[in-house]
Amino acid sequence: MALCRRTLLKVIVLGDSGVGKTSLMNQYALKKFSLKCKGTIGADFVTKDLQIDNKLVTLQIWDTEGKETFQNVCADFYRGADCCVLVYDVNCFESFDILDSWHDDFLKKGNTSNHGISPFILLGNKVDIDGGKSRVVPEKKAKKWCASKGNIPYFETSAKEDFNVDDAFLCIAKTALANE
Ligand code: GDP
Ligand code: MG
Protein backbone atom coordinates (compact mmCIF):
# COMPACT_ATOMS: atom_id res chain seq x y z
CA MET A 1 0.00 0.00 0.00
CA ALA A 2 1.27 3.42 -0.86
CA LEU A 3 2.36 5.59 2.01
CA CYS A 4 0.10 8.53 2.77
CA ARG A 5 2.46 11.41 2.27
CA ARG A 6 1.68 14.77 3.76
CA THR A 7 2.53 17.88 1.84
CA LEU A 8 4.35 20.43 3.99
CA LEU A 9 3.26 24.00 3.27
CA LYS A 10 5.09 27.04 4.59
CA VAL A 11 2.94 30.00 5.58
CA ILE A 12 4.35 33.24 6.93
CA VAL A 13 2.40 35.87 8.86
CA LEU A 14 3.39 39.52 8.46
CA GLY A 15 2.12 42.79 9.85
CA ASP A 16 2.78 45.42 12.47
CA SER A 17 3.51 44.54 16.05
CA GLY A 18 0.35 44.15 18.12
CA VAL A 19 -2.14 43.49 15.31
CA GLY A 20 -2.73 39.93 16.57
CA LYS A 21 -0.53 37.72 14.38
CA THR A 22 0.58 35.40 17.21
CA SER A 23 -2.96 35.34 18.60
CA LEU A 24 -4.47 34.33 15.24
CA MET A 25 -1.94 31.52 14.80
CA ASN A 26 -2.49 30.26 18.32
CA GLN A 27 -6.25 30.46 18.02
CA TYR A 28 -6.19 28.50 14.78
CA ALA A 29 -3.61 25.83 15.59
CA LEU A 30 -3.90 25.54 19.38
CA LYS A 31 -7.39 26.93 20.09
CA LYS A 32 -5.85 29.24 22.68
CA PHE A 33 -6.24 32.96 23.24
CA SER A 34 -4.72 35.21 25.88
CA LEU A 35 -5.05 38.97 26.31
CA LYS A 36 -1.51 39.02 27.64
CA CYS A 37 -0.01 36.65 25.14
CA LYS A 38 3.00 38.79 24.20
CA GLY A 39 6.04 36.59 24.47
CA THR A 40 4.31 33.88 26.45
CA ILE A 41 3.89 31.42 23.60
CA GLY A 42 7.05 32.24 21.72
CA ALA A 43 7.32 29.50 19.14
CA ASP A 44 8.91 30.17 15.76
CA PHE A 45 6.06 28.33 14.11
CA VAL A 46 2.97 26.28 14.84
CA THR A 47 1.72 23.40 12.73
CA LYS A 48 -1.72 22.20 11.80
CA ASP A 49 -2.65 19.06 9.86
CA LEU A 50 -5.62 19.20 7.57
CA GLN A 51 -7.13 17.64 4.50
CA ILE A 52 -7.90 19.64 1.38
CA ASP A 53 -9.95 17.69 -1.11
CA ASN A 54 -8.05 14.40 -1.12
CA LYS A 55 -4.73 15.83 -0.08
CA LEU A 56 -3.20 15.60 3.37
CA VAL A 57 -1.26 18.73 4.20
CA THR A 58 0.63 20.13 7.14
CA LEU A 59 0.55 23.88 7.46
CA GLN A 60 3.71 25.23 9.03
CA ILE A 61 2.79 28.74 10.10
CA TRP A 62 5.74 31.02 10.86
CA ASP A 63 5.68 33.93 13.26
CA THR A 64 8.00 36.94 12.99
CA GLU A 65 8.00 37.04 16.81
CA GLY A 66 9.35 40.45 17.72
CA LYS A 67 11.16 41.29 14.47
CA GLU A 68 8.22 43.22 13.17
CA THR A 69 9.75 45.88 11.06
CA PHE A 70 10.24 44.72 7.52
CA GLN A 71 13.85 45.90 7.58
CA ASN A 72 14.44 43.24 10.23
CA VAL A 73 12.77 40.30 8.53
CA CYS A 74 15.45 38.53 6.56
CA ALA A 75 15.15 36.75 3.25
CA ASP A 76 15.53 33.37 5.01
CA PHE A 77 12.21 33.90 6.73
CA TYR A 78 10.47 34.54 3.40
CA ARG A 79 12.27 31.81 1.48
CA GLY A 80 10.06 28.98 0.26
CA ALA A 81 6.88 30.53 1.63
CA ASP A 82 3.84 29.11 -0.18
CA CYS A 83 1.49 31.74 1.26
CA CYS A 84 2.01 35.16 2.80
CA VAL A 85 -0.64 36.27 5.30
CA LEU A 86 -0.81 40.03 5.85
CA VAL A 87 -2.53 41.16 9.04
CA TYR A 88 -3.70 44.60 10.17
CA ASP A 89 -5.85 45.81 13.06
CA VAL A 90 -9.12 47.39 11.88
CA ASN A 91 -8.86 49.79 14.86
CA CYS A 92 -5.40 51.07 13.92
CA PHE A 93 -4.91 53.05 10.72
CA GLU A 94 -1.10 52.85 10.79
CA SER A 95 -1.23 49.06 10.68
CA PHE A 96 -3.29 49.31 7.47
CA ASP A 97 -1.18 52.07 5.97
CA ILE A 98 1.98 49.98 6.22
CA LEU A 99 0.55 46.97 4.34
CA ASP A 100 2.06 48.22 1.08
CA SER A 101 5.52 47.98 2.58
CA TRP A 102 5.01 44.42 3.83
CA HIS A 103 3.49 43.40 0.52
CA ASP A 104 6.34 44.89 -1.52
CA ASP A 105 9.00 43.54 0.82
CA PHE A 106 7.68 40.01 0.36
CA LEU A 107 7.62 40.42 -3.42
CA LYS A 108 11.18 41.70 -3.30
CA LYS A 109 12.69 39.14 -0.92
CA GLY A 110 10.30 36.20 -1.05
CA ASN A 111 11.36 33.66 -3.60
CA THR A 112 8.07 31.93 -4.25
CA SER A 113 7.52 29.56 -7.12
CA ASN A 114 5.58 31.48 -9.71
CA HIS A 115 2.40 29.66 -10.63
CA GLY A 116 0.63 32.88 -11.53
CA ILE A 117 -1.40 32.61 -8.35
CA SER A 118 -1.13 35.40 -5.81
CA PRO A 119 0.44 34.11 -2.58
CA PHE A 120 -1.22 36.82 -0.45
CA ILE A 121 -4.20 36.83 1.93
CA LEU A 122 -5.25 39.85 3.99
CA LEU A 123 -6.79 39.61 7.46
CA GLY A 124 -8.43 42.59 9.19
CA ASN A 125 -8.26 41.53 12.84
CA LYS A 126 -9.83 42.64 16.16
CA VAL A 127 -13.30 43.29 14.72
CA ASP A 128 -14.72 42.39 18.17
CA ILE A 129 -13.42 45.53 19.89
CA ASP A 130 -16.21 47.89 21.04
CA GLY A 131 -18.61 45.96 18.86
CA GLY A 132 -16.91 47.64 15.88
CA LYS A 133 -17.43 51.19 17.17
CA SER A 134 -13.71 51.97 17.40
CA ARG A 135 -12.79 50.69 13.97
CA VAL A 136 -11.06 53.23 11.75
CA VAL A 137 -10.51 51.21 8.57
CA PRO A 138 -13.79 50.52 6.76
CA GLU A 139 -14.21 47.11 5.14
CA LYS A 140 -14.68 48.85 1.79
CA LYS A 141 -11.25 50.48 2.02
CA ALA A 142 -9.56 47.15 2.77
CA LYS A 143 -11.36 45.47 -0.12
CA LYS A 144 -10.32 48.28 -2.45
CA TRP A 145 -6.69 47.76 -1.43
CA CYS A 146 -7.03 44.02 -2.10
CA ALA A 147 -8.51 44.70 -5.53
CA SER A 148 -5.63 47.05 -6.36
CA LYS A 149 -3.13 44.26 -5.60
CA GLY A 150 -4.70 41.73 -7.97
CA ASN A 151 -7.70 40.55 -5.93
CA ILE A 152 -6.17 39.38 -2.70
CA PRO A 153 -8.71 37.38 -0.65
CA TYR A 154 -9.84 39.30 2.43
CA PHE A 155 -11.23 38.13 5.78
CA GLU A 156 -12.30 40.08 8.84
CA THR A 157 -11.35 38.17 11.96
CA SER A 158 -11.26 38.14 15.72
CA ALA A 159 -8.63 35.94 17.30
CA LYS A 160 -10.29 36.69 20.63
CA GLU A 161 -13.78 35.53 19.65
CA ASP A 162 -12.49 32.90 17.22
CA PHE A 163 -14.47 34.65 14.49
CA ASN A 164 -13.69 33.68 10.87
CA VAL A 165 -10.31 32.23 11.89
CA ASP A 166 -10.92 28.71 10.55
CA ASP A 167 -12.41 30.04 7.31
CA ALA A 168 -9.47 32.37 6.79
CA PHE A 169 -6.93 29.61 7.37
CA LEU A 170 -8.75 27.23 5.04
CA CYS A 171 -8.35 29.84 2.31
CA ILE A 172 -4.71 30.26 3.37
CA ALA A 173 -4.15 26.49 3.12
CA LYS A 174 -5.75 26.34 -0.33
CA THR A 175 -3.66 29.26 -1.52
CA ALA A 176 -0.50 27.66 -0.14
CA LEU A 177 -1.32 24.34 -1.82
CA ALA A 178 -1.95 26.07 -5.14
CA ASN A 179 1.44 27.80 -4.86
CA GLU A 180 3.37 24.79 -3.62
P1 GDP B 1 1.33 40.41 17.34
O2 GDP B 1 2.37 41.37 17.87
O3 GDP B 1 0.87 40.83 15.97
O4 GDP B 1 1.79 38.99 17.38
O5 GDP B 1 0.05 40.56 18.26
P6 GDP B 1 -0.41 39.63 19.50
O7 GDP B 1 -1.00 38.37 19.00
O8 GDP B 1 0.70 39.54 20.48
O9 GDP B 1 -1.61 40.50 20.08
C10 GDP B 1 -1.39 41.80 20.62
C11 GDP B 1 -2.47 42.08 21.65
O12 GDP B 1 -3.75 42.15 21.03
C13 GDP B 1 -2.58 41.00 22.72
O14 GDP B 1 -2.89 41.61 23.95
C15 GDP B 1 -3.74 40.14 22.25
O16 GDP B 1 -4.39 39.49 23.30
C17 GDP B 1 -4.63 41.19 21.59
N18 GDP B 1 -5.45 40.63 20.51
C19 GDP B 1 -5.05 39.86 19.47
N20 GDP B 1 -6.05 39.56 18.64
C21 GDP B 1 -7.14 40.15 19.17
C22 GDP B 1 -8.54 40.20 18.78
O23 GDP B 1 -8.97 39.64 17.76
N24 GDP B 1 -9.38 40.93 19.58
C25 GDP B 1 -8.94 41.57 20.70
N26 GDP B 1 -9.84 42.25 21.42
N27 GDP B 1 -7.66 41.54 21.10
C28 GDP B 1 -6.78 40.84 20.35
MG1 MG C 1 3.58 38.16 17.90
Beta bridge partners of 3: none
Q: Is the pLDDT of residue 40 over 50?
A: no
Q: Is the pLDDT of residue 42 over 90?
A: no
Q: Is the pLDDT of residue 116 over 90?
A: no
* ipTM for the predicted complex: 0.99
Which candidate, 177, 172, 180, 174, places its Cα nearest to that of 12?
A: 172
pLDDT tens for each residue of 73-112: 777 888 899 999 999 999 999 999 999 999 998 988 876 6
Query: Containing H/E element for 120?
Result: strand 120-125
User: pTM of this prediction?
Assistant: 0.93
pLDDT tens for each residue of 49-79: 999 988 999 999 998 876 666 666 777 888 8
Give the integer Cα–Cα distance in Å for 108 and 143: 23
Domain assignments of the chain as residue spans, ordered by start: 7-179
Nearest residue (by CA) to ligand 1, atom 24, is 126
Give 19 Cα–ligand 1 centroid separation in angstroms.
Answer: 6
- Closest-lying ligand to the alpha carbon of 26? 1
CATH label, 7-179, candidates 3.40.50.300, 3.30.160.40, 2.30.30.180, 3.90.1150.10: 3.40.50.300
Nearest ligand 1 atom to the CA of 26 is 7
Please, where are the H alpha helices in the chain?
21-30, 75-78, 93-97, 99-109, 139-148, 165-179
Nearest ligand 1 atom to the CA of 25 is 7
In this predicted model, which residue has the larger pLDDT, 99 or 40?
99
